Every structure is written in C-alpha cells, then in structure tokens.
Structure 1
Amino acid sequence: MTTETETNTDEDHVKIFDTTLRDGEQAPGFSMSTDAKLIVARALQDLNVDIIEAGFAAASPGDSASVSAVASEIEGPIICSLARLNEGDIEAAARALEPATKKRIHTFIGTSPTHREAKLKMSKLEIIDKISNVVGFACSLSDDVEFSPEDAIRTERDYLVEAIEAAIDAGAKTINIPDTVGYTTSEEIRDLFAFLKENARGAEDVTFSTHCHDDLGMAVANSLGAVRGGARQIECAINGIGERAGNCSMEEAVMALATRRDFYGLGTQVNTTKIYQASVALARVTHNPIPRNKAIVGKNAFAHEAGIHQHGVLADRRTYEIMDAESVGMPSNSIVLGKHSGKHAVASRVKALGFNVSKQKIEDIFPSFKRLADTCREVTDADLVKLVTGNAQTDGRAGPWRMRKTELHVDFEVDTRPHARITMEHDNGDRRTVTHEGEGPIDAAFAAVCAITDVPGRIHILDLHHIAAEGIVRAEAVIDVEGHHFSGKSEEVDVADAAVAAFVAAINQAVAIRGGVVSDHNEAKVS
C-alpha cells in the first residue's frame, strides 16, 4: 500500500485542502482553543496535506489569533483563512496570515436564488460586480486567492459560469464549487465539473476544487465524483467533522484514491501512515471519540468477529481486507472474540498470548468459550487466560489483585498536588496501601496501583461512558506495559471508581499473562 507521498504530476495530483480547523470547528461540540488547533495543525503537517484552512480570521479575535499561531508555526502546507466577500474580512485574513511562508485567502459569496433573495437581498448583476471588485482586492493582498460561489449546486449553471469567470478574470487561482447543503449526487456533480471546465472562460488556468457536505451521507462519494469530473482539490476534514452532518472525510477520500488508484488514476501527497494519529489527536482535543464503525480509523475498521471472516484473515488478510491497517497508522488487524468466533480464532489468540496448548485443549475450552461469549459482547484476553488456565476467580478477575479501598483527594484552595490513597489485596493475603501524587486524582490512583503491583503500566486509552438509563459508568482501559498492551473493563456507579477498576483489571491481565500462570494439571504452559 502506498503512503501517497509519491511524486505526482499536476494532472494526476489531487490537492488535499483540510478544513478541520475552520469548517470542522464550526460544528457544535467541536470548538477548539488555539492550543488545541496547534495540536491538530501539527498532525496535518505530519500528514503532508497541501492546504490547511486554519480558521475564519474575521469571526472573532480568538479565531484571528489561532490563524496567526498556525501561520507562525506550521511549515510545508499553505495556510489559509476564510473571508466573506468584503474588504474588512479580507484585510483581517491578510493580517492573520502575515507570518505564513505560504498563504491563501479564501473568499466566498452566495450565488443560488435562495441565497441571493433570502440572505443577500442582491441581484445577479450586483453579485457579479462585487466578485470582480473584491476578489481583485484580495489578489492585491495575496498571490494565492480562492473563490467559492456558496451554494453552487443550487445555482443556475449559466449564472454559475458568469460568477466563476468574474473571479478568474479578477485573479483567483482556485475555484471551489461547494455543495453547501449536501444536496447533490455523484453523477450530477461529476457532470457539473465537466461542464464548468468546458464552458467557463479561463478554466484551464485555475484549479477546480470540491467542497461537499454529508447531509445525505454522500460527501465522500460526491467529492470523488467531482474529481472524476475534473476537480483537482478536495476540501475535507479529519473524521468528517463539520457543519450539520459534517464534511467530506479526509481519511476516506485519501484512502479511496490510494486504494483504487487503478480506477481513479490519481493520487495525493498525503503520508497515509499518519492518518490514525491525526484522527486520534482530533478526538482527544475535542473530546469526541471516533465511532467504532468509522471507516478507515474506527476501532472496527480492521477488526473481525465472524468465524468465517476470522479464518480467512488468519490464512491471508487480503481475503477480507482491501488495505493494510499499518498503511493508515493503525495497529495490525484485530481478531475480536465473540459469539460468532470459531476455533481457529480462539487458537490464534491463545497462541498470541504466549500459551502453548494442544488442539485438544482448544476443543476442551471451546464450549465454555461459547457459553461465555453468549453472555457478553466481547471475550477479552483476561477471559481467555481464565479459560486456558482454569484460574478463574469467583469475582471474575483474571489476576491476583483486588481493590479494597480507594481515596481520591484534590484541594483547589490549598497549594497541594492531587493525590490518591489506594489499598489492594493479593490472593496470597498480602495487603498493601500506597499514597501517590499525580497530575489529577485519577492519574495519582493509577500511579499508586502500579506501585502496589510492581507493574510499570501507563494509560494508553481510557474510554468512559455514562449509561443514564442503567445508572452506571462503563469504563475500558488499555495500558502499556513495556511496549505491550493489556486491557480491562469495569462497570461502576461512580466515574472515578469505574476508571480505577478498569485500570486494575488491565493490570491483573498483565500480571496473569506476563507471569505465565498455569493450570493445576499443567495443561497450559507459557511458551
């Protein structure tokens, strides 16, 4: 699988214009501070996108500061600011972009009948005159200007050509055709781009761009349709975030072009191995987790539970995977053990955990595995260790440690660090209590657990979900212990209790697997 950093000619290179920090951030629940925007901007720099639309400088002093911060730090991509088609907005964009080595002003005005009549109260001629004058003004402040006729898809084609020609004549180098309300289809937009490239005067001198929204769930398909019609720039966002249902998903569009280069004959310069890293960075700074079933970067994107699929993937992952997980920077494909799994998957996972067991042992534990799988959504590694070793605890633990007492302390009025006092008991009767400081009380609790168990665990992922209807918090912790990952789950009434319990479950799994636990009959040995 290509990392899409190959050298492309202008004809076969599709530019990636990332608008996560502008259109993406406009979505409710996705607002970002300047520091958060810089984290995402660095991830976009690592991805090697062509253009970063860093914000809407005239929208607020904070947005202007964010654009300026990105323009000051990020090298490589063109840094862009959006601006309405008026001189004040354009001047604000130019000021914010001043520190950038490569900069672009992106200006827009509505052109559809709905926008002309309901929002702008302007005639067709007035809008054309404004495009000519103000795009020209923008070009006097920047060598790189992009123009968008907002709601282009619902604009009359002959009038859309007039608007585009006015912008080209005024000096715009990129013409973006936005499907502002997610209304078009892939066939329609392909035909529209082909029509514009053929009929707009000066079309051969500019780059045509597509900007699609996902109101009907077709933003990626429509963006790719536009590319087939002649667009050579896709405007998109990480994880597909954006106004209403979102924008074209950057990772989906890029990987569609990479995976089906045989069909599109086009590529990008994106380093695809950095996609997952960027997706996770955005999820963390916006506190919006990646949906499990999200294409390319979701937890299930390279996971398999069905026995037939698992057998095929274990034999050759190309049977059910059209791309490598590593090509987008994700861990290798995941075999999820559940009620649909077969013996091949169970045997493979047991071996991966370090156990050297016979085929008969797998036959013996498989009925118990199926009974357990029918009662839960997923059979964890800890569950499998218990089945293989016959070492199941009455409280469901895979390892030797149980919580006895948790005390978390944070005092906002006194200048002391948050700390936690944790008491745990080992199956051998050893009872230990440790007090530890941390960045927060839960972080302190994790550190205390590690000190008690003598396991150097670091939290890698912590997912917390409050189930209001059941009055519980479900937690899943993935910890890193000397380069190996172990997971634990819990259900508690309190958020902190759930987080600590999940962490302890992961520690127990690490102890059980690393310690080479064996059954009384010595049937399961760690290789």
Structure 2
Amino acid sequence: MNLITRKDYYGLETKISTKQIGPTSRLLTTIINKPVSDTLPIVGANVFRHSSGIHQDGVLKETRNYEIITPDVVGWRGETFPLTSQSGRNGLKKRLKDIGYSFRDTDLDKFYQKFIALADIKTFIYNSDLQMLKQELEAAEYNQSDRWVRLIRVDYHKISDTHSVIVRLTANGREFEASGSGNGPVSSVWDAIKNALSRNGLWPGDIRLTDFDVGKGAGGVEAIGTALVKISCDSKTAFGRGTDTDIIVACAKAHIAAIDHLIHSPLTE
C-alpha cells in the first residue's frame, strides 16, 4: 500500500488491483469459516469506523484528517463509522441522507430523540438500526388513534420449566395488564396479550398464530432483534412486525401490531 499512498515518493506502479483486497478477504473468511479481527489493518471491520464525535466531524469535513487510505481504494464495504450517543446531529443527518432519508427540522428532532434513547442502550448504531427507528416513527404517526393497542411493558420470568409473562397495555385511553404462560417465551407473550385484551373486550375472536420468525440487525449481543408474525381469524389474515434490543419485547410488539391491523386496517383475505 506504500506504493499507492506514496506514489509521488516511490515513483513505482504495480498491476495489483487493490480494490480486490477487501472482497478477497471476505471470500477467504467465508471459505475457511473464520472471520478476521475487527482491528486487522486494511480489511478489519473497524478500520474505517470512527465512533468519537470529533473524529466523525473531522472525517465528514476532510477524510484525510484520519484516513491515509480511503475505503474505496481497498474495496472496503460497510459503514464508514457507526453512530454512538456521542454523535451529533450533523453526523446523524449525514448518515440519514446517505441511506436515502430526509427530514424536516421538526421531524429530525423527534428522530434524534429516539436515536439518543437507543444509543444509550446500544454501544453502536448501524444503518439497519436507523431504518428500524424510521419505521417505528412512521408506525407511530399512522397509529394515532387511542383505539390502537399499545405496549407499555413486558416482564418475563422462567422458573424451572415454567415460563410466565406479564404485559401492560393501553387502549381506548385505559391501561391494563394480565399474565400468561406457555411452553416458551413466545407462547407466553401470546397468552398474556390474549388474556389482557379478552378481559377488556378487545380480543377480536378466534385468532390463530400461523407463522412466526425472528432475526437480528447488525452488531453482536447488542443487535436489534426483529420478530415477524402472521395471524388469522376466520378468512382474514394480518401481519405484524416488532423490533427491540429485547427479543421478547420485539415478539410482544409484533403480536400487538398484527392484532391492531386485524381489528382496524384493511385485511388480506
């Protein structure tokens, strides 16, 4: 890389395509099933990431402040820097623009508050996390009516082989809670939500959970969990999606979103 970065000094050239260094490294890690260290020079995941607010600001103004080699020269693919609670509004605004989002100042204020709240829980905020926050804001704007069921809290307990969940919900201007149990956290969450809504006359009928899936976003143990559910009632079908750093809370959000859509939204027959 000296020949590339100091071409004026060495006066030498090679036919090596340095842009293939990154892809070659990723291919090798796939073949041998062994990832490289995040701090490995040139190809490590953290090489072109900057978490400090002053570093991020410096890179945004002039990349050469902190990068003698630019990511594109070595075929590096990823986020130049993950956002953190120390990232300012400019860093957040720039990243949102990079991934195709634009906000008015008032909407950016709302987004920034949600961003800070998530950053206080997670160490790093990735693009997938920002997309999740955007979806949550859009859902909150869509679900303005008090008729919609909203999740306030989930408490999960496992004692020996017994799983139990307590959920606190709000709907029609009232708060209420109920407990549920099952053979695991997912069935326990479903049972608790059913009990809470049934006791308050909000359970739509013979609802069946017909499909359930979970996934995760970028990051390690702090990654955002995503739950996807499909429910049916008679000939009607509805889908729900929930995200949270706690996968059990994500499951509860997904269940409630699907039930809300079943009650209030146009349904898929």
Q: TM-score, normalised by structure 1?
A: 0.27
TM-score (norm 2): 0.49
> Highest CA radius of gyration, 1 or 2?
1
